[in-house]
C-alpha cells in the first residue's frame, strides 16, 4: 500500500491481499467523502457492457437490493430498497417528495450544508417545513426535538442527517429516532455518508426511510443512490410525487414487477457496486468497515496533533468519515498552496465549510488504511515545511470557539 504499483501489479496485489488497493500509478488518493478511492476490482468490474433488460443485469440489481437490506438489518422483510439514478441529492429529493404528503410538515434538523440542502429541497417541493438550524457543528439533541414536536402538532415528519459531512459530525441518531417515535412522528434520514460503516439498523433506529448512495461507505463509483423505506410507506407514496423521474413509488413498483429500472440504469456503476458490496462483506460488513475507518481517523488525528493541528470536534462527536482541522494560525499558511503541495504528494484533500474560522477536511473513507493515513501525515509535515510554517497550531479564536462548543453540548 505504501508504494503505488503499476496497473497490472496493483491488480495482483488486490487479489492477493484483498485489502486496500493503492490507486494506479500517478493517480492520487481521494481523501474526500465521495467520489473516493475505489478498489481495483471495483474499477475492473466496469470493463464490460450490460444490457439493461438482460437477465444478468436484472440479477445484479436484485442482488444489490437484497444485500443493502441485509446491511440495514431488515430481517423481518418490512422494508424495501429502491435504487434511483443520479447523485445522492436526487435520492434525497425523491424520498422527500414521495414520502412526505403534500399537506405534510417536516422538521429539518440542520447543522451544515446537507441539512440546509434538505430545507431548500422542501421549498422547491412546496412542502411546509420548520428548520432547527444548529449552525456549523452543534448536534441536534433528542430533548430539543421532543420539545419542538410538542410545541407544533402540525409536524408530521422529522428529517435528520446522520453524518453531516460538512463538519464531519456524527449526529445522535438514536436520540433523535427515540424522540421522534415517542412523539408519534415519522423519521426520514440522510445517511448518505454514514450507511455501510456507521450502524444504521432498522431494528434499532425506528425510521420510515433513509437514503444513501453508491460512492460513499460502500465504496462504489458515482451514478445512483438508493432509498430504503418501509413497504407501508412506499405503498402510501403512490401518486404523491411531484416528479415522474423522482417518483420512488413508481420506481419501486416497476422494479418489483419487471426487475428493471424504469429508465436507463447506470449499468457500469451497478456492476462496480456489486463488486464493492462483495468487498464490503469480505471485510466483515458494516462492523469491519467501521473498524478500518475509525482506525484511519485515529491514526490521522494523532499524527496531525503531533504537527500542531487541532480537530474542530471533540472525540464524542467526531465521525469516522471525515475530520475537520483548523487551519494553522501561522501567517505563511495558505490553503490553496497547501492543497497543491498535498496533491503533488499524491493526496487530494478537501476545503473546509465552516463560516467562522478557516479549516480544511481530510476524509477517512475509501480504499485507504492506516499506512496511507501515516503517509498523509508525513505529506502534511513536508507541505508545511515547504510553506515555511513551523507549527500548525490554530489561532486562539478557533480554540475558544471549540471550548464554547464543548460546553454547549
Ligand atoms: C454526499 C452527501 C449527499 C449527496 O451529495 P451528492 O453530491 O448529491 O451525491 C447528501 N448528504 C450527505 C450528508 C452527503 O455526505
Q: What is the pLDDT of residue 22?
A: 63
Pick one of 3.30.390.50, 3.90.105.10, 3.60.15.10, 3.90.1150.10 as the CATH number of 285-408: 3.90.1150.10
Q: What is the pLDDT of residue 14?
A: 39
Q: Give the Å distance between the CA of 42 and the centre of ligand 1.
A: 21
Q: What is the pLDDT of residue 354?
A: 78
Choosing from 190, 220, 221, 365 the residue with most ligand 1 atoms within 8 A of its CB, the one to mutate for a pocket test is: 190
Ligand 1 first shell, C-beta below 6 A: 33-34, 87-89, 92, 114, 161, 165, 190, 192-193, 213
Choosing from 35, 114, 217, 320 the residue with most ligand 1 atoms within 8 A of its CB, the one to mutate for a pocket test is: 114
Which of 109, 128, 115 is CA-nearest to residue 89?
Answer: 115
Distance, CA of 197 to CA of 367 (rounded, Å): 13
Cα–chain-centroid distance for residue 92?
Answer: 12
DSSP 3-state assignment of 216?
coil
Which of 44, 173, 54, 157 is CA-nearest to residue 108?
Answer: 157
pLDDT beneath 50: ranges in the chain = 1-18
Q: Which atom of ligand 1 is nearest to the CA of 191?
A: 13
pLDDT tens-digit profile of 99-128?
A: 999 999 999 999 999 999 999 999 999 999
Residues 281, 275: contact at Cβ < 8 Å?
A: no
**Domain 43-281 adopts which CATH fold?**
3.40.640
Task: Report CA dihedral (115, 117, 119, 120) to the nearest 10 degrees.
Answer: 170
Domain ranges of the chain: 43-281, 285-408
Go through the chain and tell me how many residues it has: 409
Q: Which atom of ligand 1 is nearest to the CA of 225?
A: 9
pTM: 0.94
Contacts of 289 (CB under 8 A, 6+ apart): 196, 197, 217, 280, 283
Other Cβ atoms less than 10 A from the Cβ of 388: the count is 10
Which of 378, 372, 343, 374 is CA-nearest to residue 4?
Answer: 372
The C-alpha cell that represents 13 in the structure block: 496485489
Distance, CA of 276 to CA of 208 (rounded, Å): 26
Amino acid at each position: 500500500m505504501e508504494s503505488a504499483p503499476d496497473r497490472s501489479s496493483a491488480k495482483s496485489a488486490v487479489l492477493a491481499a484483498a485489502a486496500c488497493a493503492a490507486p494506479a500509478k500517478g493517480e492520487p488518493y481521494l481523501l474526500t467523502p465521495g467520489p473516493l478511492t475505489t478498489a481495483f476490482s471495483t474499477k475492473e468490474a466496469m470493463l464490460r457492457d450490460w444490457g439493461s433488460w438482460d437477465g444478468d443485469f436484472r440479477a445484479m440489481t436484485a442482488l444489490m437490493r437484497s444485500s443493502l437490506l441485509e446491511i440495514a438489518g431488515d430481517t423481518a422483510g418490512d422494508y424495501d430498497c429502491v435504487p434511483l439514478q443520479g447523485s445522492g441529492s436526487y435520492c434525497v429529493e425523491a424520498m422527500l417528495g414521495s414520502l412526505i404528503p403534500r399537506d405534510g410538515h417536516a422538521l429539518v434538523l440542520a447543522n451544515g450544508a446537507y441539512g440546509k440542502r434538505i430545507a431548500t429541497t422542501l421549498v422547491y417541493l412546496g412542502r411546509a417545513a420548520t428548520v432547527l438550524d444548529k449552525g456549523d457543528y452543534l448536534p441536534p439533541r433528542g430533548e430539543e426535538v421532543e420539545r419542538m414536536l410538542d410545541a407544533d402538532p402540525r409536524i408530521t415528519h422529522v428529517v435528520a442527517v446522520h453524518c453531516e459531512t460538512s463538519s464531519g459530525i456524527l449526529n445522535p441518531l438514536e436520540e433523535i429516532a427515540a424522540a421522534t417515535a415517542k412523539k408519534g412522528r415519522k423519521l426520514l434520514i440522510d445517511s448518505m455518508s454514514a450507511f455501510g460503516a456507521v450502524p444504521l439498523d432498522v431494528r434499532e433506529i425506528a425510521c420510515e426511510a433513509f437514503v444513501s448512495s453508491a460512492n460513499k461507505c460502500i465504496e462504489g463509483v458515482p451514478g445512483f443512490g438508493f432509498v430504503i423505506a418501509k413497504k407501508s410507506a412506499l405503498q402510501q407514496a403512490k401518486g404523491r410525487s411531484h416528479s415522474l423521474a423522482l417518483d420512488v413509488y413508481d420506481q419501486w413498483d416497476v422494479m418489483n414487477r419487471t426487475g428493471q429500472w424504469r429508465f436507463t440504469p447506470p449499468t457500469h456503476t451497478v456492476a462496480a457496486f456489486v463488486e464493492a458490496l462483495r468487498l464490503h462483506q469480505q471485510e466483515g460488513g458494516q462492523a469491519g468497515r467501521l473498524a478500518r475507518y475509525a482506525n484511519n481517523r485515529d491514526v490521522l488525528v494523532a499524527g496531525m496533533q503531533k504537527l500542531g493541528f487541532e480537530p474542530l470536534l471533540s472525540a464524542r462527536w467526531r465521525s469516522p468519515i471525515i475530520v475537520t482541522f483548523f487551519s494553522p494560525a501561522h501567517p505563511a499558511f495558505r490553503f490553496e498552496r497547501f492543497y497543491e503541495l498535498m496533491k503533488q504528494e499524491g493526496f487530494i484533500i478537501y476545503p473546509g465549510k465552516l463560516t467562522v474560522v478557516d479549516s480544511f477536511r481530510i476524509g477517512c473513507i475509501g480504499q485507504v488504511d492506516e499506512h496511507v493515513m501515516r503517509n498523509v501525515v508525513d505529506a502534511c509535515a513536508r507541505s508545511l515545511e515547504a510553506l515555511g510554517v513551523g507549527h500548525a497550531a490554530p489561532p486562539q479564536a478557533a480554540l475558544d470557539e471549540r471550548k464554547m462548543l464543548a460546553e454547549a453540548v
